């Protein structure tokens, strides 16, 4: 059987809408549908993993940006424009049913994609995510339902990282965030997508890709400004 990855480019999507799409894509995968890589940008939102410490939200609890408790692993983070969100909906049965290995593979995808922009990044043992030196460039947190993984990764692309200021990202105090743009790469989310998709296909050994064929509303990606 050919291993197919369906790729959905969804543009800018509110957090709650994207969550509902993922639920449907997980149900579709459980019913025998294809693996999916959903790529999008979020409206500003702070999210906390199920066991995250709300104290890490800091002053964000008082702001206008919505806050959501979500069923992924990990601590507090920020999502907003200028960040590439990847929600892979992937059956881990084909990847050896090992959630830690899956987390490491997602890190491999982003490290490989960053290398195409001459950005040297790495993983840090014990701190899931992708790092450029001591600065964090991508966050990862997943959920698994009947061995289908969802949620995923957030790669900072634009130079504006002010959304992280009020919080303690990932529950690690003193962590500095960085982005593709700040490390000398492109500053537009749309220009990072091709590298991320091709590295995802390579790391997870898909044989072919096709556009997402599912009943989720798709909007054209905003043109790079």
Chain contacts with other proteins (rule: CB under 8 A): 48-51, 54-55, 57-59, 61-62, 66-69, 71-74, 97-103, 128, 140-146, 149
Query: Is the Cβ of residue 49 or residue 181 nearer to other proteins in the bound state?
Result: 49
Distance CA 25, CA 108 (A): 24
Strand partners, 39: 9, 86
Residue 30's closest CA among 86, 81, 91? 91
Q: How far is the CB of 213 from other proteins (least distance, A)?
A: 26
Residue carrying structure tokens 């992708």:
130
Query: Is the Cβ of residue 111 or residue 212 nearer to other proteins in the bound state?
Result: 111
162-165 CB contacts, 8 Å cutoff, 24+ apart = 163/44, 163/65, 163/78, 163/79, 163/80, 164/78
Query: Is the Cβ of residue 123 or residue 135 nearer to other proteins in the bound state?
Result: 123
Distance CA 8, CA 167 (A): 30
The encoded tokens of residue 13 equal 């999507």
Residue 172's closest CA among 108, 46, 31, 76? 76
Strand partners, 156: 83
Q: How far is the CB of 113 from other proteins (least distance, A)?
A: 19
> How many whole angstroms from its chain centre is CA 150?
10
Tell me which residues are annotated as active site: 170
The encoded tokens of residue 210 equal 């096709």
Q: How far is the CB of 141 from other proteins (least distance, A)?
A: 5
Q: How far is the CB of 71 from other proteins (least distance, A)?
A: 6
Query: Is the Cβ of residue 58 or residue 81 nearer to other proteins in the bound state?
Result: 58
Query: Is the Cβ of residue 34 or residue 149 nearer to other proteins in the bound state?
Result: 149
């Amino acid at each position: 059987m050919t291993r197919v990855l369906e790729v959905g480019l969804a543009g800018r999507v509110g957090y709650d809408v994207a969550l509902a799409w993922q639920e449907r894509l997980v149900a579709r995968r459980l019913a025998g549908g294809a693996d999916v890589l959903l790529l999008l940008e979020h409206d500003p939102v702070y999210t906390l993993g199920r066991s995250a410490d709300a104290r890490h939200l800091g002053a964000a609890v008082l702001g206008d940006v919505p806050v959501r408790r979500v069923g992924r692993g990990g601590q507090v983070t920020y999502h907003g424009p200028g960040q590439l969100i990847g929600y892979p909906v992937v059956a881990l049965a084909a990847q050896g049913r090992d959630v830690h290995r899956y987390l490491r593979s997602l890190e491999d995808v982003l490290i490989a994609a960053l290398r195409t922009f001459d950005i040297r990044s790495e993983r840090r043992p014990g701190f899931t995510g992708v790092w450029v030196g001591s600065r964090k460039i991508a966050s990862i947190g997943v959920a698994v339902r009947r061995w289908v993984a969802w949620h995923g990764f957030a790669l900072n692309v634009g130079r504006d990282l002010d959304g992280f200021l009020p919080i303690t990202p990932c529950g690690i105090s003193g962590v500095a965030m960085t982005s593709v743009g700040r490390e000398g790469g492109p500053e537009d989310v749309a220009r990072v997508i091709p590298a991320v998709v091709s590295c995802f296909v390579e790391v997870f050994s898909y044989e072919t890709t096709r556009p997402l064929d599912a009943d989720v509303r798709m909007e054209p990606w905003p043109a790079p400004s």
